[in-house]
Structure 1
Amino acid sequence: MQANVQWQKDLVFTATTGSGQTVHMDGNKTEAASPMELVLAAAGGCSSVDVVSILEKARQEVTACRCEVHGERADAVPAVFTKIHLHFVVTGRDVAEKHVERAVQLSAEKYCSVAKMLEASVTLTHSFSIEQAD
């Protein structure tokens, strides 16, 4: 894997990934997300991929899934994350709680590479709720 990060102006940068995708970042958070916000998004995205994939394999009728990620940072420089909480809101038809619980647990303990990398220095917690689809 690789990425190239190119300075645009002020504290705005564009990252181009090895797969050719681009992501904009802004240290001032005026034109794009900050790099630290993208770390939270990466944790939520990686875990969400796992959760949805596991639920689909369990033949759960999921119509939506969102991951609300909250991070707390140290007060000193470097202001690293000290705690990250991922709350999954799974929407679907007759989605079984036991399947969602298992999917979240498997993502946290086994599959999410981003979470596994972060857990060495960050306290990661997870929760979920289920909403019935119309």
Structure 2
Amino acid sequence: MTTPQHADNHRSVTLARDALGAYTATNVRGGTLAVGSGDTDDFTPVELLLAAIGGCTMIDVDHLTSRRAEPTGFAVEVGGDKVTVDGVAQMQGLSVRWEVTFPEGEAGDEARRMLPRAIRMSHDRLCTVGCTVKLGSPIATIEGRTGDDSRPS
């Protein structure tokens, strides 16, 4: 079943150029994030993709397991290889490595039992970012205003 497209389902961010290789992403809530080309400590687009995969699946798994017990440790490492195949840059071999611990006791035991299922549910159907990457999605490119802004209108 496909979820209908409505305005409340739409997500967007805008990016603005600050300098060569330096950009600011802004979400609709006003949050900002520096994006760079790798010459500074700002996240690169590939690192943001990896962070989005990790953040998305962490949110899912955290919500599912924390109902049982508050984790004492909760981290993921997301990685992959940036390669060029037939002239096309891409990431391959993406992986998410989990490091999650729960307290001793019945609630912690229940959360530990839930963890593999929660990870699988996130991977298979809940994590929008991961599922989009796995399934692929066309990206429409729409050219807006171009040209010399210095000419009078």
TM-score class normalised by the smaller sequence: 0.7 to 0.9
Q: Higher mean Cα deviation, 40-49 or 29-38?
A: 29-38
Aligned 1:1-134 pairs, distance under 5 A: 1-57=11-67, 59-76=68-85, 77-94=87-104, 95-96=108-109, 97-121=112-136
Q: Which segments of 5 or more consecutive residues in structure 1 lack a partner in the other structure?
A: 122-134
**Cα separation, partners in 2 of 1:29 and 1:107, compared to 1, 3 Å:** farther
Task: State the alpha-carbon separation in 1 of the partners of residues 127 and 52 from structure 2.
Answer: 10
- Matched residues in 2 for 1:44 and 1:99: separation? 19
**Cα distance in structure 2, aligned partners of 1:53 and 1:75:** 37
Distance 1:73 1:15 in 2: 23
In structure 2, the CA distance between the partners of 1:107 and 1:28, relative to structure 1 (3 Å rule), is same
More strand by proportion, 1 or 2? 1
Higher relative contact order (CA 8 A, sep 6+): 1
Q: Secondary structure at the match of 1:119?
A: helix
Return the alpha-carbon distance in structure 2 between the equivalents of residues 29 and 45 of structure 1.
Answer: 24
The runs of at least 4 consecutive aligned structure 1 residues that moved more than 4 Å come to none
CA distance in 1, matches of 2:47, 2:70: 31
Amino acid at match of 1:14: T
The one-letter amino acid paired with 1:34 is: T
Q: Please, what is the CA RMSD of the aligned residues? A: 1.5
Report the TM-score, using the length of structure 2 for normalisation: 0.72
Question: Aligned residue for 1:130?
Answer: none
